[in-house]
Amino acid sequence: MKQMKWLTTLLAGAALVAGFGATAAPWDKMPDAEVEQILDTKFAEGKYSKKGADGCLMCHRKSEQVMGIFQGVHGQSTSSKSPMAGLQCEACHGPQGKHNRGGKEPMIQFGTDAPVPAAKQNSVCLSCHQDGERMAWHSSTHNLEEVACASCHQVHVEKDPILDKVTEVDACTACHTRQKADMNKRSSHPLKWADMTCTDCHNPHGSMSEAALNQVSTNDTCYECHAEKRGPFLWEHAPVAEDCSACHNPHGSVNEGMLTNRAPQLCQQCHTNPHSGNNINGKPSVFTAGQSCLNCHSQIHGSNHPSGKALQH
Ligand code: HEC
Ligand code: HEC
Ligand code: HEC
Ligand code: HEC
Ligand code: HEC
Ligand code: HEC
Ligand code: HEC
Ligand code: HEC
Ligand code: HEC
Ligand code: HEC
């Protein structure tokens, strides 16, 4: 009799698990704290199944997407650190408890829309991935803004799209629409063709620098590829040595050379009245017409010419 009941539940369960996340769990609308409470209790009880993945797959094998885990690294038991070498599915989704009785008792769910708070989800991933690359995760903006690891990463797939240069930028700009708009402007870094990616300059897991940059400062990040702008110069242009983004938008701009503004306005932001002696009656002079500042001051990033004090040689 008992066995019959279990079988019916199993069949009902199997029928329900048609889609991947087709039905929202009832705890969807619970406050975060309550969800955490349930999960903490579940973990404290530690009721892991004895059958491991085989038990889960009795109900979940029909979902192609669930089975996708076996195509990826997390589905291989080659490494002793792999989930499959240990608690298997439950290494990520938590102890089964009474979940197998109709799927009512919730398991940990992952992703942007999951009812489980990001910090809780992420602690599961970090239990295996707390290493050098993610050293600054806890102080990162992504963590503070409650972005989940699984908002960027997929694990039930052969290849995680965000780890592929060709699809990374799309994954980032799904949330970062301003940078998406910038990179499609007239002048930009070659982000559209995956010749470059966001992670050439940023660490998505956070860093010790402003804006999660890979290097200690904006300039050091730029010098990685534009070493010739580092100098040293006999005649430095102060803002260049200080902050490239004083004049450039690294994501792109409607102006040539990714400039935040065109000359002469660009220059006049800081040099309010250069050559004022030549500016007769306030009319535009030879000095301010068109791009003329750069016609004479062509060594805008610095000069090594003995008489290049005014950056003209
Ligand atoms: C490395 C951690 C990890 C392991 C191991 C893992 N999963 Fe998942 N699972 C996830 C993540 C993350 C998602 C969210 C979708 C994605 O990223 O692919 C997910 C999604 C799911 C879903 C869909 C849940 C929903 O929100 O509707 C099911 C069902 C599932 N996993 C079952 C399993 C089963 C069964 C196994 C074992 C065969 C397993 N998972 C192993 C991390 C894991
Ligand atoms: C007796 C059948 C059954 C077994 C065994 C089973 N599940 Fe489920 N599972 C379900 C049902 C039914 C759902 C709800 C279906 C839905 O919402 O799409 C579900 C949903 C889930 C979800 C989505 C989150 C949630 O709580 O709704 C995850 C993740 C999951 N199961 C993982 C597992 C893992 C891991 C195992 C093994 C430890 C497992 N399941 C064993 C039937 C089962
Ligand atoms: C039980 C340990 C364990 C857990 C939990 C775990 N992982 Fe992993 N993960 C591994 C192992 C082992 C590898 C293989 C590479 C390695 O040795 O680092 C790996 C590799 C990865 C990779 C690189 C994939 C690739 O194709 O190279 C990503 C990304 C990743 N994990 C993300 C996650 C995320 C996101 C979670 C949480 C949903 C998670 N992991 C949970 C053990 C784990
Ligand atoms: C904003 C998107 C984003 C978030 C959030 C994110 N990652 Fe990543 N992750 C990436 C990208 C992009 C790469 C590949 C490029 C790189 O390594 O910088 C990567 C690479 C990885 C790798 C494989 C290479 C390596 O660094 O060892 C692992 C493992 C990983 N992430 C784990 C995690 C874990 C764990 C979390 C949550 C604590 C997380 N990631 C959160 C985007 C993200
Ligand atoms: C699920 C949404 C989401 C995805 C996907 C995402 N981000 Fe973010 N990111 C945010 C939020 C929210 C913030 C904080 C608000 C803001 O600055 O826009 C943020 C902030 C940032 C910042 C500013 C950090 C700081 O400390 O000032 C950088 C840089 C960044 N993200 C880079 C990336 C990169 C690179 C990727 C892809 C690998 C990525 N993001 C993917 C949501 C996301
Ligand atoms: C060439 C290097 C470079 C690349 C490539 C790059 N960024 Fe940035 N990003 C920066 C710098 C430098 C800053 C900080 C200076 C500033 O305010 O512009 C920044 C700032 C940000 C910020 C913080 C908000 C802001 O505007 O200050 C976000 C979010 C961001 N980047 C997202 C992205 C995303 C998403 C991509 C990929 C589409 C990307 N970045 C590609 C260099 C880069
Ligand atoms: C990973 C390498 C890399 C990094 C880091 C990098 N750049 Fe670039 N940059 C490039 C490449 C490649 C081009 C050439 C694009 C082309 O020829 O279409 C370029 C071109 C430029 C241009 C000229 C664009 C034009 O339309 O003529 C400017 C300006 C520029 N970068 C500024 C910066 C600044 C500022 C930083 C730091 C925030 C930076 N770059 C960081 C690779 C990089
Ligand atoms: C004072 C404003 C200003 C600052 C600050 C500045 N640039 Fe420029 N940059 C320009 C102007 C103006 C041009 C266009 C020059 C031209 O058309 O000849 C330019 C062009 C470029 C170019 C493309 C042409 C070339 O010379 O290779 C690159 C690359 C570049 N800048 C990188 C940088 C880097 C890296 C930094 C920081 C170390 C930086 N710039 C700081 C004004 C500036
Ligand atoms: C973000 C502010 C800023 C911008 C924008 C800027 N400059 Fe400068 N510039 C400075 C500062 C600061 C100095 C150093 C002034 C000093 O030492 O008295 C300087 C110095 C100079 C000098 C050398 C003056 C001397 O005799 O030492 C020239 C020439 C010059 N800038 C031209 C330009 C031109 C042309 C542009 C536009 C392409 C420009 N600057 C944009 C801030 C700026
Ligand atoms: C016809 C060539 C020419 C043009 C055009 C020109 N400059 Fe100059 N500029 C010079 C020369 C030559 C000097 C050095 C004068 C000296 O040493 O007495 C100079 C000096 C300067 C200085 C340093 C002296 C001072 O006045 O503080 C600044 C700053 C400067 N220019 C900015 C600009 C800006 C900004 C523009 C565009 C609005 C511009 N210049 C257009 C030739 C030019």
Indicate whether 46 and 134 sit together in one domain. yes
Residue that is last in its domain, among 152, 176, 204: 152
Indicate whether 182 and 132 sit together in one domain. no
Q: How far is CA 128 from CA 111, 163, 226, in A?
A: 18, 18, 37
Indicate whether 119 and 52 sit together in one domain. yes
Indicate whether 78 and 37 sit together in one domain. yes
Q: Which residues line ligand 6 (CB under 6 A)?
A: 169, 172-173, 176, 179, 183, 189, 191, 196, 198, 200-202, 211, 213, 218, 221, 245, 250-251
Instruction: Pick the atom of ligand 4 nearest to 128's CA.
Output: 35
Q: Name which of 126, 142, 136 is nearest 207 in CA terms.
A: 136
Indicate whether 51 and 147 sit together in one domain. yes
Query: Which ligand ends up closest to the CA of 119?
Result: 4
Minimal-distance CA residue to ligand 4 atom 32? 129
Indicate whether 196 and 102 sit together in one domain. no
Indicate whether 141 and 119 sit together in one domain. yes
Per-residue pLDDT of the chain (313 residues; tens, 9 = 90+): 233 333 333 333 333 333 344 344 567 778 888 888 888 888 899 999 999 999 999 999 999 999 999 999 999 988 889 999 999 999 999 999 989 886 568 899 999 999 899 999 999 999 999 988 888 999 999 999 999 999 999 999 999 999 999 999 999 999 999 999 999 999 999 999 889 999 999 999 999 999 999 999 999 999 999 999 999 999 999 999 999 999 999 999 999 999 999 989 999 999 987 787 555 455 556 666 666 899 999 999 999 999 999 999 9
Q: Is residue 284 part of a domain?
A: no
Q: How far is CA 11 from CA 4, 15, 50, 269, in A?
A: 11, 6, 20, 72
Indicate whether 93 and 200 sit together in one domain. no
Query: Which ligand ends up closest to the CA of 238?
Result: 9
Probe residue for ligand 5, chosen from 142, 178, 208 as the CB with the greatest number of ligand atoms within 8 Å: 142
Q: Is residue 206 part of a domain?
A: yes
Q: Is residue 285 part of a domain?
A: no
Ligand 2: does its nearest atom lie under 6 Å from the Cβ of 94? no
Q: Is residue 166 part of a domain?
A: yes
Which phi and psi (to 5°) does residue 253 adopt?
-160, 160
Q: How far is CA 12 from CA 78, 95, 103, 223, 241, in A?
A: 35, 21, 10, 61, 67
Output the pLDDT for position 291: 64
Indicate whether 96 and 207 sit together in one domain. no
Q: Is residue 305 part of a domain?
A: no
Output the pLDDT for position 131: 86
- Distance, in Å, from the CA atom of 287 to the CA atom of 80, rounded to the nearest integer, reads 70
What token pair was written down for 57?
A: 């797959």
Indicate whether 102 and 194 sit together in one domain. no
Indicate whether 61 and 103 sit together in one domain. yes
Instruction: Pick the atom of ligand 4 nearest to 137's CA.
Output: 38
Q: Which domain holds residue 72?
A: 31-152
Probe residue for ligand 4, chosen from 112, 133, 153 as the CB with the greatest number of ligand atoms within 8 Å: 153
Q: Is residue 277 part of a domain?
A: no
Residue that is last in its domain, among 152, 182, 198: 152
Q: Which residues line ligand 5 (CB under 6 A)?
A: 112, 141-142, 145, 147, 151-152, 168, 171-172, 174-176, 198-199, 202, 204, 211-212
Indicate whether 129 and 191 sit together in one domain. no
Residue that is last in its domain, among 107, 125, 152: 152
Instruction: Pick the atom of ligand 8 nearest to 226's CA.
Output: 35
- Distance, in Å, from the CA atom of 170 to the CA atom of 164, rounded to the nearest integer, reads 10
Q: Is residue 131 part of a domain?
A: yes
Domain count, the chain: 2
Probe residue for ligand 6, chosen from 182, 187, 202 as the CB with the greatest number of ligand atoms within 8 Å: 202
Q: Is residue 106 part of a domain?
A: yes
